[in-house]
Chain A
Amino acid sequence: MNPTAFLRFTARRVAEMAVTLLIASFAVFGALYLAPGSPASFLLAGRSPSPEALAALTARHHLDDPFALRYLHWLGDVLQGDFGRSLTYRTDVSRLLADRLPTTLLLVTMALAVVLTAGLVLGRIAAVRGGRTDAAVLVATTLAIGTPSFVAAVLLQGLFAVRLGWFPSSGAGDGLLDRIWHLTLPAVALALYLIGMLARVTRTAMLEALDSEHVTVARGRGVPEHLVIRRHVLRNALGTVLTTGGLIVATLLVCTILVETAFSIGGIGQLLELATTTKDFPTVQAVSLIIVALFMTVNLVVDLLLPLVDPRITLGTRGAAA
């Protein structure tokens, strides 16, 4: 791949991302503005304040300004890394994010590793062995796909944390190893549905690749079967798998809200859930923007990797992978 084309493509995509984030920020800000009730009444939470206190509050949060002005004011702060102060936690939102984002990223990374390993292995076995193995994988993946992540969370907690006591039932732990131990059950709960999905996508893509003439040719040329599968079948299914990767990460980011809540893990998912129920506007806005930004970054990475997997795709063309 030629480096200037790579840089030009990346620069263009980053600029597109900036525009998309701007639009997303407007939507995120506007949606909360449209929510019923005035922000002041949420802040006061049913107390009846003195007129002076109300005025001070209104002034502090610029509640008297027109919508556009308030949006620009907020946007200016965000661009400087200031997401405002959390109304619930009484600290800077950026502090909250810095504390919680690493936990969520670790959880999502672990879940992604589980999804990729189990999904690819199951998909490969089903496609290559066929017959009963295929049927068994089909049943297992149907179960996995049919189990919502919060149900999986409760089931896993009940079995492995409460009954067997192998894993802690809640919390995120301290130190890397302890964290990984704490996050194992949540990661599996998060991964289950996606394992099912990826296994099916891999299976279908591999069966399609198995049907190609070049696979028969490779066999006819005396290439050992395991190399035929790796180089001509799995390799050719990878483009489809990578494209699904973007969707997988998006789903992980959304489901982490449910799973972090179920396991009482202090990540940004749980933060978003708490902030939404307590109408903590600045926090909801910040977390939503972060999730949008993460999602777009993953899609950019997938688009940059695709030409490496499939030489027929060049950057900037939206060719379909085989």
Chain B
Amino acid sequence: MTTPPALEIRGLRLTLPGAARPVLDGVDLTVGPGETVALVGESGSGKSLTSRGALGLLPAGAVTEGAVLVDGEDVLTAPPDRLRALRTGRVAMVFQDPRATLNPLRRIGDFLTEGARAAGVEPAAATDRATGLLRAVGLDASVLAAYPGQVSGGMLQRVVIAAALMGDPVLLLADEPTTALDVITQAEVIALLVRLRESFRTGLLFVTHDLDLAAAVSDRVHVMYAGRIVESGPAEDVFARPLHPYTTALLASTPRLTAPGGRLSAIPGRPPDPRTPLTGCAFAARCPLATDTCRETPPEARRAPGRPDHHAACHHSARLADEGAVLDV
């Protein structure tokens, strides 16, 4: 019997009350055992919603279609106690802001052991495991008795990472885990995540808007726009030879010291309003390549010729492939 993927999302469609179109529209995404997958896109593209969906944490009133399998088990249909067991064990999340993640009124030790104790682990054993994991993230047991307000943000994010590893998860979800931290601490936390992923053989879904970071840590990348995966593939392919104009535009708007002319190119316009229905490609209104076809027919994800694992949902992928990454936006 083969090991199931750590995470397999198949055709996830999520509709919120009051929205004219699904906020997630047919998301397909797989994280193999021990693999790191980055999910990149602008704010509001649905990245966080997708990663929270993998925990079964959905906004109130959300209607879903499709399947979200964590270690082979569907979190969308799991009964509450199965879902709870899954959350204390096989899947865990590192959230964006460590200050908001911990209850400021409870000790750090309580936070670390809370899930394990809920799963029936003896308090003493849970504390032992917490102490060991604190050491693994470079902290000592003295923080167990401290309150969140007494330690720095970087230390807190290490605590959150240690807490995420408490149940020995097969899947770790990291939702912009460094956005709330300063640059030095960011680098430390990323290095820590990469090291732990290797020593614990955990599948990692890394949600970020930082393309360089995604390129540095991930095996594969998914680019998301307006609730759809517009491009996916091995990190080096996607970043070196993008097949979707949105990926190209994102890459062009990343600050670089070597950027010609020293100017950043912003993507004109803004992502489509979720209250308006979409016909055709979601990116058409902002895309320099857009034609009437783009505005009328939504593009299907297609495999790039000669690159079996590289997919893009664009009517003009072929043109991009021919011209390389040269595109004036």
Task: List residues of chain A with CB under 8 Å of any chain B CB.
Answer: 212-214, 216-224, 227, 231-232, 235-236, 309-312, 322
Q: How far is the CA of A44 from the CA of B57 in the complex (A)?
A: 79
A222-B115 in contact (CB<8A): yes
B274-303 contacts to A, CB under 8 A, are none
B114-A312 in contact (CB<8A): no
A312-B104 in contact (CB<8A): yes
**Residue among A214, A216, A231 having the largest count of chain B Cβ atoms under 10 Å:** A214
CB contact between A220 and one of B55, B100, B102 (< 8 Å): that residue: B55
How many A-B residue contacts, CB cutoff 8 Å? 76
B101-A311 in contact (CB<8A): no
Query: What would be 18 A-B contacts, judged by CB atoms less than 8 Å apart?
Result: A213-B101, A214-B100, A214-B102, A217-B93, A218-B103, A219-B57, A220-B55, A221-B87, A221-B88, A221-B163, A222-B119, A222-B167, A223-B115, A231-B106, A235-B103, A311-B105, A311-B149, A312-B105
Q: How far is the CA of A312 from the CA of B146 in the complex (A)?
A: 11
B103-A232 in contact (CB<8A): yes
Determine the chain A residues whose CB is within 8 A of the CB of B163 once the complex forms.
Answer: 221
Q: How far is the CA of A47 from the CA of B149 in the complex (A)?
A: 72
Q: Which residue of A lies closest to B150 (CB)?
A: A311
When A212-B100, A217-B95, A311-B147 are in contact, do A222 and B87 touch as well, CB less than 8 Å? yes
Determine the chain A residues whose CB is within 8 A of the CB of B115 once the complex forms.
Answer: 221-223
Q: How far is the CA of A311 from the CA of B163 in the complex (A)?
A: 21
Interface range, B side? 20 to 34
Determine the chain A residues whose CB is within 8 A of the CB of B93 once the complex forms.
Answer: 217, 220-221
A236-B84 in contact (CB<8A): no
Which 7 residue pairs of A and B lie closest in terms of their CB atoms, listed nearest first? A222-B87, A222-B88, A213-B100, A222-B84, A221-B115, A311-B147, A214-B103
B44-83 contacts to A, CB under 8 A, are 52, 55, 57, 83
Cβ of B97 < 8 Å from any Cβ of A? yes
Determine the chain A residues whose CB is within 8 A of the CB of B97 once the complex forms.
Answer: 213
B118-A222 in contact (CB<8A): yes
Determine the chain B residues whose CB is within 8 A of the CB of A221 once the complex forms.
Answer: 87-88, 92-93, 114-115, 118, 163
Q: Which residue of A lies closest to B102 (CB)?
A: A214
Q: How far is the CA of A312 from the CA of B97 in the complex (A)?
A: 19
A220-B84 in contact (CB<8A): no
B115 to chain A: closest CB distance in Å? 4
Q: How far is the CA of A220 from the CA of B118 in the complex (A)?
A: 12
Determine the chain A residues whose CB is within 8 A of the CB of B118 once the complex forms.
Answer: 221-224, 227
Q: How far is the CA of A218 from the CA of B163 in the complex (A)?
A: 11
Determine the chain B residues whose CB is within 8 A of the CB of A218 once the complex forms.
Answer: 103, 114
B4-38 contacts to A, CB under 8 A, are none
Determine the chain B residues whose CB is within 8 A of the CB of A217 once the complex forms.
Answer: 93, 95, 100-102
Q: Which residue of A lies closest to B104 (CB)?
A: A312
Q: How far is the CA of A218 from the CA of B102 in the complex (A)?
A: 9
Contacts A235-B106, A311-B147 supplied; 15 other A-B pairs, CB < 8 Å: A213-B95, A214-B104, A216-B57, A217-B93, A221-B118, A222-B85, A222-B89, A222-B118, A223-B84, A223-B114, A231-B103, A231-B110, A312-B104, A312-B147, A312-B149
B50 to chain A: closest CB distance in Å? 14
Cβ of B159 < 8 Å from any Cβ of A? no
When A212-B100, A311-B149 are in contact, do A222 and B105 touch as well, CB less than 8 Å? no
A127 to chain B: closest CB distance in Å? 15
**Residue among A223, A224, A235, A236 having the largest count of chain B Cβ atoms under 10 Å:** A223
A1 to chain B: closest CB distance in Å? 12
Q: How far is the CA of A232 from the CA of B103 in the complex (A)?
A: 7
Determine the chain B residues whose CB is within 8 A of the CB of A312 once the complex forms.
Answer: 104-105, 147, 149
A277 to chain B: closest CB distance in Å? 49
Q: How far is the CA of A218 from the CA of B101 in the complex (A)?
A: 8
B169 to chain A: closest CB distance in Å? 11
Contact with A along B157-181 (1 / 0, CB 8 A): 0000001000100000000000000
Cβ of B126 < 8 Å from any Cβ of A? no
Q: How far is the CA of A44 from the CA of B83 in the complex (A)?
A: 82
B114-A322 in contact (CB<8A): no
Determine the chain B residues whose CB is within 8 A of the CB of A216 once the complex forms.
Answer: 57
A213 to chain B: closest CB distance in Å? 4
Determine the chain B residues whose CB is within 8 A of the CB of A235 once the complex forms.
Answer: 103, 105-106
Q: How far is the CA of A311 from the CA of B87 in the complex (A)?
A: 29
Cβ of B224 < 8 Å from any Cβ of A? no
Determine the chain A residues whose CB is within 8 A of the CB of B52 once the complex forms.
Answer: 220
A306 to chain B: closest CB distance in Å? 12
Q: How far is the CA of A217 from the CA of B103 in the complex (A)?
A: 9
A208 to chain B: closest CB distance in Å? 13
A220-B105 in contact (CB<8A): no
Cβ of B250 < 8 Å from any Cβ of A? no
A220-B57 in contact (CB<8A): yes
A242 to chain B: closest CB distance in Å? 12
Determine the chain B residues whose CB is within 8 A of the CB of A213 once the complex forms.
Answer: 95, 97, 100-101
